[in-house]
Amino acid sequence: MRMSSALLPRAFERVGRGRKFTVLDLGSPTPASVRFFNQFSCRVYYASLLEDDGEEDHPFGLDFPGDVRFDVCLFWDVLNYLNGDTLETVSEMVTDRLNADCRGHAFVAFSQAVPYSGMRFSIEDLDKLVVEPDPKAVPHVHTWKDLEATLWPFTNAAATLLQGNRQELLLVNHSH
């Protein structure tokens, strides 16, 4: 199914076709997302946090070259599937890799009291996403308030309430 995104274009507004930029995508590479990123001069790092790759030396697939700094972080709704300790570890590993004007985009639960179903996201265009159900994803549902309680380096700059107990967030880096 396709879904419009009001906030994803704002995550990319500081980068563009004329400038090289770096993206952290916590999802898995999909054909639609690869096609989307191919139109830019960018480097994309996929972490695929929900897939077990057996790498013990580099937990969570967050093994990046030392000089990598991210301009855009796409968290999708992956944060909702990480327990508190893992979320904190991921936060620490990502925080040191952010450019000062880094923007983030995420989907979080609006309420822990309402059911939350797993989804997989791909970018078709700046304001259009491809969304598929992911029945294997088991949520540790987090609201934005929960995420703020971790060491997360972002503040919420804008939010849109969506169907299915989802909230779309535009995040700005406050760690610098």
Considering only residues 176 and 122, tell me which one the structure prediction assigns the higher pLDDT.
122
CA-CA distance, 131 to 119, in Å (whole number)? Answer: 6
Q: Which residues contact 110 (CB under 8 A, 6 or more apart)?
A: 143, 161, 165, 166, 167
Number of domains making up the chain: 1
For 97-115, the pLDDT digits (tens) are: 999 999 999 998 888 888 8
Considering only residues 58 and 17, tell me which one the structure prediction assigns the higher pLDDT.
17
pLDDT reported for residue 2: 92
Under the banding of pLDDT at 50, 70 and 90, the label for residue 60 is low
Q: Is the pLDDT of residue 59 over 70?
A: no
Q: Which residues contact 176 (CB under 8 A, 6 or more apart)?
A: 98, 100
The CATH number of the domain holding residue 45 is 3.40.50.150
What's the pTM value of the predicted model, to 2 decimals?
A: 0.90
Q: Measuring CA to CA, which residue among 45, 49, 39, 52 is closest to residue 22? A: 45
Q: pLDDT > 90: what percent of the chain?
A: 45
Residue 148 belongs to what domain range?
2-173
Q: Measuring CA to CA, which residue among 173, 35, 59, 36 is closest to residue 105? A: 173
